[in-house]
Each structure stands twice: as C-alpha cells, then as structure tokens.
Amino acid sequence: MEVDSVFFTDRSGRVTSNPLLDQLPSYQSLLYRRKSSGAGSKRRNSSRNRFGSSGSNKWAVNTVSKHEEKQKLEERPIRELPKTMAEKRQQKAQRLQDAADLSSWRQWKQGTRRYLRRLREDAHDWLSSLQLWRGDIHLIEGMFGQGILSYFSFLRFLVMLNLIIFVLMFSFVMLPIIIAPHTSGNITYNLNDGGICSVYPSSTRRGLVIYYEHIADLLSGGGFLEQTYLFYGYYRAHKIYFPKTTYNLPLAYLLATIAYLFLSLVWIVKRSATGFKRSLIQDEDRFQSFCNKIFAGWDFCITNVNASKLKRSSLLYELKTDLEEERIKQKIADRTRKEKCRIYFIRFLLNLFVMAVLAGCFYSIYKATIFSQKAQMDNIKVNFIVDLIYEYLPSIVITLANFITPLVFSIIINFEDYSPAFEIRFTLMRCVFMRLTSIGVLLFSLWSQITKCKEEPCVCGYNHLLYSCWETRVGQEMYKLTIFDFITIVSVTIFVEFPRKLIVRHCDCGLAKWWGQQEFAIPQNVLEIVYGQTICWIGTFYCPLLPAICTIKYFFMFYIKKLSLINNCRPATRPFRASSSNFFFLCVLLIGLALACMPVIASVAQINCSQACGPFVNYTTSWEVVPTAVSQLPDGVQGLLWALSSEAFAVSFFVVTCLAMFYMIALAGAHKKVIKQLREQLAMDGRDKRFLIQKLCQAQRIPEVRPSQPRQQVLSSSSSRRSPNYETSFSNNFDESLFLVHSPPDSSTHV
C-alpha cells in the first residue's frame, strides 16, 4: 500500500470510503439523510448502501458525543438544521414535548420569545414590502445579476438620503418661517445698517419680460428665482418670537448644516460596515480566487436566457483572466533589470503626462469659470442661447473633461504594463480623482473671484460690488451644475444610446460591429451619481432646496437608467463583483463627502459672510453664531462647552483615539498569526489522521486467518494490545463498526 493512499480499493478496483472515517464526529455532523434504495444502489458504490442503511441517526445514538450534539442542536432554531421537513417537524414536536416538562415560567418565556420572533419577522416582511422599487429591482436582478443590482440599490439609497436631508433642512430652517404667521410668531429681520456692504440690488426683472427670459431664469437660478426660498439670501430672519420660545434661526441654519453632514457620514459608514469586513477578508486571501469562482461564481438568481449566457461568458472570461494573471505574475517575476528600468521609466513619463492632462483640465475649468463670472457681471446680452452657454460654461467644460479623461486614461494604462486587476483599479482611482477635484477647482476659482477686490484688502472681506450676496451666487453655480448634470444624462441616453442601439441592430456595416452594443459600465455610472451627490452636499448650505431637487433628479434617473439598461444595453463582459462593489461605491461616496465638507467648512469658518443677505448678517463669519449662542447659556453649561472645545481636551481625545487604533491594529495582526498557525495545525492533523488510520488498518489486516474465531473476541483482545491512541470512541462501537468492505473473512490482528 502506498504511503499516501488511505482508501482501499475493493476487488473490483473502485475506491470506496473507509468505515472508520465514517464514524468520525466530523462526519456525524454532516447528517446526510440518504436512504438506501434498490434503484439508488446502481449509481452508488456498495459502501454507500452500507453507510446509508446504517443511517446517521443510528451513529448519533452510539457515539459518545451524542449528548453534546443534542444540546447543540437544541440551541439552534429548527429551521437551521439540515434535515428533511418530516424530521424537522418531529424535532419540533420533540421540543414541544420537552418544553411541556419545563416549569410554566420557562414555557411562558419560550412562548413569548417565539411570539416576538414571529412579530419581528412579520414586521420585517411588511417593511420590506414598503421598500421603494422592490419589483423593479427584482426584475433587474433576474436579468442582469448582482453587480448591476448593487448600482440600482445604491441609487435607491441616495434617494432616501437626499429625502432625509431635505426633511431635516425643511423642518429646521423653512418650517419655522412658514408657520410663524400662523402661530402668531413675530419674525425680526436683520437690520439694514445702511453701510456699503449691505447694498443688495434686486435682480428681479422689471418691465416687459419676454417668456424665454423666464426659462433662462429657471435654468440659471437667477431673476425671479433668486429671492425665493431656493437660495441662502432669502433667509433674512434673525429671531422668531413664538408665544412660548424664541427660535434662533441663524443657529438653526448652521446646526442643520452640520447635522446633515454628520448624518450622511454615519449612515454611509453603517451601510459600509458589512461590506468592509467582507472586503478585508477577501483582500487577505487572493489565493482563493479560483474557489470563489467555481463555487460561488454562478448567480442563482438569474432567470433570463440572455443573462445566463452572459454570465457564463463572463465567468469564462474571469477564469481565463485569472489564468492569464498567473502567467503575467510569472512573467513579472522573470523580468530582467534592464526591462524593469525601462518599464519604470515609461511609467514615470506616462504619469507625468497624466498630471499634465489633469493640470490642463483644471486650468481650463478655472478660466471658464472666470470668463463665465465676468460675462454675467458685465451683463452683455448677445443672444438667448449664447447667454445660456456663458452661464453654463463651467459645467460644460467639467462635463467635457470628465468625458475625455477616462478615455485617455484607459488608453494610457495599456502601456504601463500592470496586472489586469490593478489596471482596472488604477484607472478608476484616476477617474475618481478627476471628477471630484474638478468641483474643487470650480469652487476655488469662484472663491478667488469673490475675494478679489480692486483695492486689497477688501473692505467687507469680499468683493461687495460684484458679489453683494456671494453665497447665493455659489448656490446658483451648484444649482446650475445639478441641472446640467441631469440634462446631460437624459440627452446622452436619448441621443446617443438609443440611436446606437438602432444602428447596431438594423445596420450591418463594419462601423456598427466595431462600435458594438452599449455596455452598462458600472464604475462610470457610479462616478456620475457620486459626483451629483457631492454637488448636493456642498450646495445644500447655499441652496436649501437642493436636496429636494436631487431627490427628484435621482428618482427620474432610476427610471431612465432602467429603461436604458433593459432596452439598449448588454451587461459588461468584465464583471463587477457584488461584494466588493458595494464597498467600492460607499468608499467613493465617502471620498465625495470628505471633499464636500472642505468647502463648507472653509466658507463657514473663514470667509466673511455677506452683509447684505442671509441669516448671518450681524456676524463676521457664519461660525460666530455658535460662540454667541453659547455665551447666552447658563454658566455651568458654558464652562463645560468651553472645556470640550479647548486644546487640552482635543489633544487628549486625539491621543486616546490613536491608542485605540494602535490596539485594534495589533489585535488584528495577532489574529492573523493565530489563523495561520491554526491552518497549519489543521493540515498537520489531517495528515496525522490519515497516518493513524493507515496504521490501524494495517494492524487489522492479516493474510492467513483463523476461520472459526468469533470476530468480537478477536477484536476485543486486539484492542487491549493496541496502543492507547486507538481507545477512542471506536472501542465502544466494535460490534457494529469495524468491518472493512473487502475484509478477509476474519480480521484477527497481530501487530
């Protein structure tokens, strides 16, 4: 017998399983429930019959660990047991019987527990039936699988988030102003002190207004829209005196802003917690990629013929890519030094090129913004369309840049010779950077315009001649970006994707074949909506109704994208994994949030708020509201708040957080080591097990025989001669167990 083989072959040469292994507690826990049947035995080996007829329950009765197992099973809910329905019902009846023996207090406790569980499940069921777009998402899942599903559920999440943000802003900022007249509240407005800083020329159009000017106003947020609830400038209330309380509107405005940023952060982090854990596990073990694809690769939700074909081809593609990656890894390992130098040099050049492209785009955005602002200030009215283009120039340039740069990046990455997986990630990172930084550049150029005066330094802290109400102006830019983004998405769907589908379907020329049908590229679509959401976060401070606009925008986007997906697209051949994609979306969203916080914080804390409009007229910067309000609180609370914001507290808090983080990192490292050790131990134990069983079977097998000796006697005598290792639970089961499939008539042993 070779050292490595554990299993004997019977006389016909087939490999059969060893009965000793069947008795192991680890097998018992599998609880297979095959019954032997005449028809079944044709397919299976004879050993199966034996195993099947003995039945796992019988073994469970006999092994020593039966008691512990029973206890373990009892703790698990019945439906999590891998048994047939009939057995589960038996188990339930058994448990009920056992429960009847318990005291009435225990019975009541169990009964209420079961009732609460049922109640919770029913409530969960009802809540999920209320979920928005449940049927649509189900349909998409069936047709396109998990990757695209995650995009749509991400979209749904953003709709909910924007709705909640809007409700927050509305109830704390707008509602008090609206209901004040009805509840006999007295609104005091900010006083116009007559200084040069508080001059606010009205921008409403007078005289005869041509109809398209209204459309221009609607699209640009100017004209009749400027002095409405839409923009910051309208909220001039200082305090609202209700019968019982006074409502400090500036404070509420600022705190609502901080609250919505904080709420978004908490909600996103909570949502990404599960994905993050899974991502950590996955990244740790890149070796498991083949197993994952074979055993967890097929999406059981697919019901559509085309989708299954696509899934099949994408799995095939993935497997081939993996095999290719192995080859490339080998190739990289085999690179000579000269080749390495060449590659690094090429990469350095290409990265310089990428930075040059980015710098070019940012410069053009800067120039476009300045040009657009000048055109609006000088009020040159050429033509309706040209005016609109001047207004929208920054948005147009940003959109063009965001359209061209991904193409450039994906061409460049081919020359940089990275592994395929890294290529995808790196290109994506570059695109994310491009998208989100372009908003930053726009805001920076706006800020440079606002704080640039003819005589330095500015009298009011900002350019009051051109920007008497600069927050409203920023709000208008954000509003324009949002509207233009929505228009772009709708027009691309209607004017690019739809004709493309028609051309590819009806025209058989080479161009159509080369262009191919539209693919639903998940990363680019996700970047689009993250971009929109970042604008919303930045803009809500200046344009409190923007979340509502974004909610409506994403609502319509869902239907547009769904239609486009079903009618025009085929799923991407390069699949996007469901687990990592959720985490990726939320990660990019967090980056967007971080980026959105910066301008808001800068403008609240640094830039002087406008003196002509808005709730913060009486303060230098918007942040000043908070210290002023705190100074009106009772002394004790004041002292506490000052202590909390002092440097001592901040430093010690920072130190404690750092310590906690280091502890967590050390713990994670220790766990990793333990896992590695346990794995090695498992492997070693497996080898031990095989070795011992091999020895045991060797010890039992005898070529010549004493035919008339009863088996039990022989075995029991042999048991005493055996080393203590073998006196395990096996020794209890001798009567029924140790018969080898092909054993010689007796199995008397001598060692």
Partner 1 sequence: MGNKQTIFTDEQLDAYQDCTFFTRKEILRLHARYHELAPHLVPMDYTNEPDCKLPLALIVNMPELKENPFRNRIVESFSEDGMGNLSFNEFVDMFSVLSEMAPRELKAIYAFKIYDYNVDNYLCKEDLKKTLNKLTKEELTPEEVDLVCDKTIEEADLDGDNKLSYSDFENMITRAPDFLSTFHIRI
Within positions 264 to 323, which residues make up the interface with partner 1, using CB under 8 A? 278-279, 281-282, 285, 287-288, 290-292, 294-305, 307-308, 312, 315-316, 319-320, 323
CA distances (Å), origin 704, targets 214, 714, 746: 108, 14, 9
Rounded distance between C-alpha atoms, residue 359 and residue 351, angstroms: 12
**Residue 84 in the binding site for partner 1 (CB under 8 A):** yes
Total residues binding partner 1 (CB under 8 A): 79
Q: Map the footprint of partner 1 across residues 50-79, applying CB under 8 A.
A: 77-79
Binder of partner 1 out of 10, 25, 33, 276 (CB under 8 A): 33
Rounded distance between C-alpha atoms, residue 696 and residue 715, angstroms: 12
Only one of the segments 136-144, 164-172, 261-269, 736-744 lies at the binding site for partner 1 (rule: CB under 8 A); that segment is 136-144
Q: Which amino acid is at 715?
A: L
Only one of the segments 25-33, 249-257, 549-557, 589-597 lies at the binding site for partner 1 (rule: CB under 8 A); that segment is 25-33
Nearest residue (CB) to partner 1, 309 versus 381:
309
Q: How many CA atoms lie within 13 A of 579 on its CB side?
A: 14
- Least Cβ distance, residue 293 to partner 1 (angstroms): 8
**Residue 32 in the binding site for partner 1 (CB under 8 A):** yes
Residue appearing with tokens 């909910």: 160
**Residue 142 in the binding site for partner 1 (CB under 8 A):** yes
Nearest residue (CB) to partner 1, 26 versus 383:
26
Assess contact for 21 and 737: CB atoms under 8 A. no
Q: Which long-range contacts (CB under 8 A, 24 or more apart) does 214-222 make?
A: 216/384, 216/387, 216/388, 216/391, 219/388, 219/391, 219/392, 219/480, 219/483, 220/388, 220/391, 220/392, 220/476, 220/480, 221/475, 221/476, 221/479, 221/480, 221/543, 222/476
**Residue 94 in the binding site for partner 1 (CB under 8 A):** no
Assess contact for 36 and 49: CB atoms under 8 A. yes
Nearest residue (CB) to partner 1, 370 versus 578:
578
Q: Map the footprint of partner 1 across residues 580-609, applying CB under 8 A.
A: 580
Q: Map the footprint of partner 1 across residues 561-580, applying CB under 8 A.
A: 577-580
Assess contact for 504 and 517: CB atoms under 8 A. yes
Q: Map the footprint of partner 1 across residues 407-466, applying CB under 8 A.
A: none
- Least Cβ distance, residue 521 to partner 1 (angstroms): 20
Nearest residue (CB) to partner 1, 68 versus 727:
68
Nearest residue (CB) to partner 1, 89 versus 721:
89
| Residue 24: count of CB within 10 angstroms of its CB | 17
Rounded distance between C-alpha atoms, residue 736 and residue 666, angstroms: 51
Binder of partner 1 out of 85, 100, 208, 509 (CB under 8 A): 85
**Residue 127 in the binding site for partner 1 (CB under 8 A):** no
Binder of partner 1 out of 72, 113, 138, 505 (CB under 8 A): 138
Nearest residue (CB) to partner 1, 89 versus 374:
89
Query: Which string of DSSP letters, residue by residue, matches 421-462?
Result: HHHHHHHHHHHHHHHHHHHHHHHHHHHHHHT--SSSSPSSSS
CA distances (Å), origin 314, targets 182, 197, 409, 570: 62, 63, 24, 12
**Residue 727 in the binding site for partner 1 (CB under 8 A):** no
Site string for partner 1, 660-699 (x = CB under 8 A): -------------------x--xx-xxx-xx---------
Residues 531, 555, 146, 493: is their CA dihedral positive or negative?
negative
What stretch of H or E contains 240? strand 237-241
- Least Cβ distance, residue 522 to partner 1 (angstroms): 15
Rounded distance between C-alpha atoms, residue 404 and residue 574, angstroms: 21
- Least Cβ distance, residue 133 to partner 1 (angstroms): 15
Q: CB-based burial of residue 453 (10 Å sphere; 0-12 exposed, 13-18 middle, 19+ buried)? A: middle
**Residue 157 in the binding site for partner 1 (CB under 8 A):** no
Rounded distance between C-alpha atoms, residue 713 and residue 711, angstroms: 6
- Picking from 497, 487, 531, 532, the residue whose alpha carbon sits closest to that of residue 396 is 487
Q: CB-based burial of residue 416 (10 Å sphere; 0-12 exposed, 13-18 middle, 19+ buried)? A: middle
Nearest residue (CB) to partner 1, 134 versus 342:
134
What stretch of H or E contains 204? none
Report helix, strand and coil shares of the chain as percent, to nearest 5.
70, 0, 25
Site string for partner 1, 320-359 (x = CB under 8 A): x--x------------------------------------
Query: Which string of DSSP letters, residue by residue, matches 567-579?
Result: HHEE--SS---HH
- Least Cβ distance, residue 730 to partner 1 (angstroms): 19
Site string for partner 1, 364-403 (x = CB under 8 A): ----------------------------------------
- Least Cβ distance, residue 677 to partner 1 (angstroms): 13
Nearest residue (CB) to partner 1, 680 versus 727:
680
Could you say which DSSP state residue 35 is in? P
Assess contact for 222 and 241: CB atoms under 8 A. no
Nearest residue (CB) to partner 1, 91 versus 709:
91
- Picking from 427, 449, 364, the residue whose alpha carbon sits closest to that of residue 398 is 364
- Least Cβ distance, residue 317 to partner 1 (angstroms): 10
Binder of partner 1 out of 1, 9, 40, 119 (CB under 8 A): 40
Rounded distance between C-alpha atoms, residue 497 and residue 101, angstroms: 69
Nearest residue (CB) to partner 1, 40 versus 516:
40
Residue appearing with tokens 């796992």: 56
- Least Cβ distance, residue 357 to partner 1 (angstroms): 35
- Least Cβ distance, residue 578 to partner 1 (angstroms): 5
| Residue 402: count of CB within 10 angstroms of its CB | 19
Instruction: Report the first-to-last Cα separation within the chain, whole angstroms.
Output: 17
- Least Cβ distance, residue 295 to partner 1 (angstroms): 6
Nearest residue (CB) to partner 1, 120 versus 270:
120
Nearest residue (CB) to partner 1, 289 versus 488:
289
Nearest residue (CB) to partner 1, 265 versus 301:
301
Only one of the segments 85-93, 439-447, 592-600, 625-633 lies at the binding site for partner 1 (rule: CB under 8 A); that segment is 85-93
